Copies of this chain bind each other. A is one copy, B any other.
Amino acid sequence: MSKGLPKRSENYSEWYNELVKRAGLAENSAVRGCMVIKPYGFAIWEKMQRALDDMFKATGHQNAYFPLFVPRSFLEKEEEHAEGFAKECAVVTHYRLKADPSGKGLIVDPDSKLEEELIIRPTSEAVIWNAYKNWIQSWRDLPILINQWANVVRWEMRTRIFLRTAEFLWQEGHTAHATEQEAVAETEQMLGVYADFAEKWMAMPVIQGVKTPSERFAGAVETYCIEALMQDGKALQAGTSHFLGQNFARSFDVKFVNKENQLEFAWATSWGVSTRLMGALIMAHSDDNGLVLPPKLAPIQVVIIPIYKTEEDLAKISERIDPVMAELKSLGISVKYDDDDKQRSGWKFAEYELKGVPVRLAVGMRDLENRTIEVARRDTLTKESRPIDGVVEHIRTLLDEIQVAIYDRALQFRNANIFPVDTWDEFKEQIEKGGFISAHWDGTEETEAKIKEETKATIRCIPLNSIEEAGKCVYSGAESAKRVIFARAY
């Protein structure tokens, strides 16, 4: 009962689009490149937010909120930053509409032109460092450890729901420090938080690494990232953490008196993950029947479906189920009892499969007699009949098991799809099949660009844990000291 989803093996891209739509996660809006996140999708995002927010606060960060608008002159201040974002940004030029004098409708009132245009934030370094200027005078004011949950806009030409949209939701951490060492430690700490979240909550293994200079965030000294592998063999950058050095402090003139009583520019980091993680979550685990959600992020962890013919039967089943529901809820497990009589149980089974509910319980009249209940797992599509006594304890354990099993499956897949490659022919052959390619690179931007041009593969990252190993660049044959990870990417 796949509700007619396209198969992954036949058309992965169509499968993804249809799944997002049919599972009620999101849809494209009438506004170009902008999406509507529907309640079921948003409930998953809320769970992600809550978990991340707790992790940010546990590492000493506080939330705040900065303006949506970046004055043009602010964006200009950090040159690389400006260059990186100016080409695709929404520009506010006027502040009023008026009735069209030549007919019906509204037109922009030319008298309302702004003296300086405002850019909808594509990211908030400029606005935030302009504010930090007034917050930072002394080393005593540091560190500043702030995070913001916000919407941002990047006028992407080719958009893809969740993965690349003109407007998206994200969090952006922006910290200021008294020393370079502290700022680097913060950058690395937050990368670790993202990796932890990806692995423990999303059940998605990631490679931690640093970007090559050409793939760095505009304005960063170093960009750290986590890279995940999707089921179609393409890579997805799931989060980034940037060490910004003193670039923004210099552009916005943020100086402080250090412990040695000398004026110094503050050291900065920024780090973010976005609703793109929704796309990653979907593509990492789901199958031809629909979503597969790790229990920790599932809005409904357990669904219970009564199988009955008469109202009387339903009443009997409900009576049996009531204490199970209550017990599950008391353990903090989110459970839904679907006794809606407008749909058949077969339809419901398919629907909750599509929606990725990790555990499905079903109870019919025979179960009442036998004091049993059917327990089905979404991840393995297996089911078994169990005594209803003790089933709550079983489910509690089962949810943990499923969380681990989904991660293990993704890890196995990922590990089976990292290919050490040593020749250019091998490289070209492997890249067509997908996966991460671990290969030597000569460290030049030129080689990186040529490989991209010829194969559409990019260097996803230089892994943090990569071993020093003398070798020859897979493209140029020049000397190389370590392998890097290549892939085609979302």
Contact = CB atoms under 8 A, between A and B. Distances in A.
A94 B96 contact: no
Contact of A69 (B65, B91, B167): B167
B67 A93 contact: no
A64 B36 contact: yes
A477 interface: no
Interface stretch (A7-15, A81-89, A414-422, A466-474): A81-89
A267 B38 CA distance: 20
Contacts of A117: 97, 108
Interface residues of A, number: 66
Contacts of A30: 71, 74, 127, 130-131
Contacts of A66: 29, 36
A97 B118 contact: no
B63 A39 contact: yes
Contact of A76 (B62, B105, B118): B105
Contacts of A95: 88-91, 155
A428 interface: no
A228 to B, nearest CB: 23
For A31, A94, A119, which residue has the most chain B Cβ atoms within 10 angstroms? A31
A385 to B, nearest CB: 33
Contact of A39 (B36, B119, B146): B146
Given A31-B127, A87-B96, A97-B119, A39 B62 contact: yes
Contacts of A366: none
A92 B64 contact: no
Interface in A312-366: 342
A251 to B, nearest CB: 13
A55 interface: no
Interface in A110-144: 112, 117-120, 127, 130-131, 134, 140
Nearest to A94: B91
Given A86-B97, A106-B82, A167 B68 contact: yes
A216 interface: no
A207 interface: no
Interface of A: 27, 29-31, 34-39, 42-43, 45-46, 62-76, 82, 86-99, 104-106, 108, 112, 117-120, 127, 130-131, 134, 140, 146, 150-151, 153, 155, 167, 169, 342
23 contacts: A29-B131, A30-B127, A30-B130, A31-B67, A31-B70, A31-B118, A31-B127, A34-B68, A35-B67, A37-B65, A38-B64, A39-B63, A43-B62, A43-B63, A68-B153, A69-B90, A76-B104, A86-B99, A89-B97, A91-B92, A91-B97, A93-B108, A120-B120
Q: Which 10 A-B pairs have the closest CB atoms?
A: A34-B67, A39-B62, A86-B97, A37-B65, A95-B155, A91-B94, A31-B67, A93-B93, A90-B92, A31-B69
